[in-house]
Amino acid sequence: IDDTGALRILFRYPTDWGRLQTEEPAGENYVTAVASNGIVLEVVYAEDALPRPRYHGLTVTLRSGYLAKGDTLTITFGDREGGSPGLRLQSFCESHFEFKTAVDIYATGQFTPIPGSPAIGIAPAAPVRWKAVAPTRRRPDETFSLGIKAEDIWGNPTDQARGLLRLVANVAVDGLPDEVDFPGGCRAFKVEGLKVSREGIVRIQLLDARGQVLARANPLVIKKGSVSGYWGDLHGQSGESVGVGSIREYFQFARDYAFLDACAHQANDFQVNKDFWRHINDTTAAFNDEGRFVTFPGYEWSGNTGVGGDHNVYFYQEGRPIYRSSHALLPDRSDIDTDAPTVGDLFRALAREDCIVYAHCGGRYANVAVAHDPRLETSMEIHSAWGTFEWLLADCFERGFRCGVVCNSDDHKGRPGASHPGAASFATYGGLTCFLSEGLTRKDLFDCIRRRHTYGTSGCRMDLDVRALFATCGRCYDRGPAAATAQSRDTAEVMMGDIAQTDDPAVEVAVQVAAHTPIERVDILNGTAVVQTLYGYAAADLGYRIRVVWSGAEYRGRGNRTRWQGQARFEGCTIRSLTEINNWHSDRPFNQTGNHTVAWESETAGNFCGFDVVLDRLDSGRMHLETNLVSGVVDLAALGMEAQLIKAGGLERQVRISRLPDSSDCLELAARVKVPLKGQGDNPLWVRVTTEDGHNGWSSPMYIYRDAEKTG
């Protein structure tokens, strides 16, 4: 290597390991470089400054000489000689974490990759929690399985747990053993062949050998009817594009460790060459196992927001052509004439394909104003690991588009279906979609998505049933009534996602929720307006627990994350306990100072984060809120059922202060609410569920109108 030449070690985008540094020998992540011939070296670490997909790099530049054959460079990551505790590795597992090495031999600024770059495996840490995962809805005598796993502090299924586990259910479950032996070296375990013969809500507990509760599974609703509930995460990437691991490892995690029913891989199109497109299709087909685990071939159309923004494309079968937004990272441009540079071009290219399209928000948020095709674009992804984006659905309401709700992880860390945000880049836990489908086949799920019979969550598995009941009669359409192929039927009720016409001035919205944790509230909405809020408690139940949560984003684009730094000081009362809500970054805990003050640093991207405090009294208490964005004083004695909101600008940024019962056991909620209908245009009726542990669930809207349909 010539004088002023350099060696560069590159790292993939998702890695959230400690930021490398060369200034503090006693600090974390200290890096050194030494040349065997004693020349001076300059060591610089750059984050988010290098070409995709290896955005991060350590560059070692020769400053006082050259290296000849036989000379060596020794680079120590986490050098402990000066007192450093070492290097903090990334928060997620990776079988082949590569130190991708390239060299600028001639000091020209051109780096050539070296074959055989070193690599390590990153394994899970010790278990800190257990998870038991059940289906959410099944019909009587329909078989199902129960998934069991232990996770480390960062949400990785870990192989360091073992021992005898007990299973206890509140009703008779055929095939459920009293005990299971969780084997050492196993990251997940399934109990197969279970069924329940009678209708009701099944709740299964996981206990240790001493009878201590380790985990409570999500509720399983046994209910007669035409549909069951199947959980999927159809949006994420692997290391062949801008994630980690292989596409095979990606699907294996979804099936075996996240216990999903359905999954799809979504590589950015401008990184998908011909060979990789064939590999995506071949691997997807290999994992598709109808009745057990359904996969869809597809890709992410990754156009800039100005030409439509990110959209997910899913094909019914393998072997279909890929219509890219560009060839930005593809040297082979022999098929560039097949590109679809705008989302309108994409819809035209896909017009004869058997496929569906989602709009979503990631690096390039979807802009539905550019183009929309109701035959293809069936759903809006309103939550992922990037944040929460209800405004995307609001954009559709404003334009009269009829889209369903889906949530996915958009995972880049090899964990589809159980996507912990880790220590950087992502704001929240990845989402899930429940497909209310007749069965678990590609056809069943495509039919379900096209009918918008879906609901999404921020990662939990609640059961959610939403219907509209007509006083006289309604007419339900399988697609926009003006569509040439639309079919309709008379009905007394419709379910989430349906399009219906009625002459009634109002409908009754029936909501049933069964959750894994107490339900805080259920908002019933008509479009963007909250019609009524149902609470999981009454005014007489209110106690000494105060909830403080902050939410919102900077703006719609790539830099949407809002940084919150603040403190809440309680005057005239004493803090008895503090519980964090949605603080996914375990290396940044909230701090309680004395008995009166809570301080925090966190980020939100449309989602919410916060804490509960239980106080010793409220009659004379006040909370003094000070943050980098907004401040205020709250009279705690004046808090009732209605929360107090302090607006903070930006994109729906706010702080919400509310009073809750000291404890709640409202795991199920059922209600009917009369909702007046507008005379003109759609009434998109949907619900948003908030649970006490910080999760949300969103139903697909029911699009109900009273006037004659004028457009498709």
β partners of residue 312: 300, 358
Separation of alpha carbons 379 and 405, rounded Å: 6
CATH of 539-660, one of 2.60.40, 1.10.730, 2.40.50, 1.20.120: 2.60.40
Predicted confidence (pLDDT) per residue in 101-133, tens digit: 999 999 999 999 999 999 999 999 999 999 999
The mean predicted confidence, pLDDT, of the chain is 96
Q: Do 539-660 and 129-225 fall under one CATH topology?
A: yes
Q: By C-alpha distance, which of 157, 103, 107 is closest to 132?
A: 157
Burial category of 652 from C-beta neighbours within 10 Å (exposed 0-12, middle 13-18, buried 19 and up): middle
pLDDT of residue 710 exceeding 70: no
* Cβ atoms < 10 Å from Cβ of 312: 26
Q: Which amino acid type is present at position 570?
A: F
195-226 core/surface letters (b: 16 or more CB in 10 A; e: else)? bbeeeeebbbebbeeeeeebbbbbbbbbbeee
Domain ranges of the chain: 6-122, 129-225, 539-660
Report yes or no: 59 and 53 within 8 Å, Cβ to Cβ: no
Question: Which pLDDT belongs to residue 711?
Answer: 41
Residue 380 C-beta-side C-alpha neighbours within 13 Å: 25
Average pLDDT of span 503-520? 98
Give the residue ranges of DSSP H helices in 614-682.
none
Kindly state the tokens that stand for 602.
């966190």
pLDDT of residue 313 exceeding 90: yes
Separation of alpha carbons 328 and 312, rounded Å: 18
Predicted confidence (pLDDT) per residue in 348-384, tens digit: 999 999 999 999 998 899 999 999 999 999 999 999 9
Is residue 381 classed as helix, strand or coil in its secondary structure? strand
pLDDT confidence of 49, banded at 50, 70, 90? Answer: confident
Separation of alpha carbons 694 and 268, rounded Å: 31
User: Going by C-beta distance under 8 Å and a sequence separation of 6 or more, which residues neighbour residue 440?
Assistant: 228, 230, 261, 262, 290, 291, 292, 294
Separation of alpha carbons 447 and 378, rounded Å: 11
Question: Which pLDDT belongs to residue 707?
Answer: 84
157 secondary structure, DSSP code: B
CATH class of 129-225: mainly beta
| C-alpha dist (Å) from residue 412 to 82, 130, 251, 588, 629 | 35, 23, 13, 22, 31
Question: Which pLDDT belongs to residue 45?
Answer: 97
CA 519 to chain centre: 20
443 phi and psi, to 5 degrees?
A: -65, -45
Question: Which pLDDT belongs to residue 484?
Answer: 61
pLDDT of residue 481 exceeding 90: no
Question: Which pLDDT belongs to residue 355?
Answer: 99
Predicted confidence (pLDDT) per residue in 185-211, tens digit: 999 999 999 999 999 999 999 999 999
Question: Which pLDDT belongs to residue 709?
Answer: 60
β partners of residue 553: 651
Report yes or no: 448 and 296 within 8 Å, Cβ to Cβ: no
Separation of alpha carbons 651 and 282, rounded Å: 42
pLDDT of residue 554 exceeding 50: yes
pLDDT of residue 630 exceeding 90: yes
Report yes or no: 437 and 444 within 8 Å, Cβ to Cβ: yes
Predicted confidence (pLDDT) per residue in 11-22, tens digit: 999 999 999 999
Kindly state the tokens that stand for 639.
């808090």
Is residue 676 classed as helix, strand or coil in its secondary structure? strand
pLDDT of residue 675 exceeding 70: yes
If you count them, how many residues does the chain have?
Answer: 712
Predicted confidence (pLDDT) per residue in 130-180, tens digit: 999 999 999 999 999 999 999 999 999 999 999 999 999 999 999 999 999
Report yes or no: 123 and 93 within 8 Å, Cβ to Cβ: yes
pLDDT of residue 54 exceeding 50: yes
pTM across the whole model: 0.96
Query: Which residues in 402-495 belong to E strands, given as ranges?
Result: 404-407, 432-437, 454-457, 463-477, 488-495
Predicted confidence (pLDDT) per residue in 332-347, tens digit: 999 999 999 999 999 9
Separation of alpha carbons 91 and 154, rounded Å: 6
Separation of alpha carbons 307 and 269, rounded Å: 15
Lowest mean pLDDT among 28-32, 261-265, 270-274, 358-362: 358-362
Q: By C-alpha distance, which of 409, 413, 421 is closest to 154?
A: 421
pLDDT of residue 613 exceeding 70: yes
Average pLDDT of span 435-458? 99
β partners of residue 532: 524
pLDDT confidence of 712, banded at 50, 70, 90? Answer: very low
pLDDT confidence of 272, banded at 50, 70, 90? Answer: very high
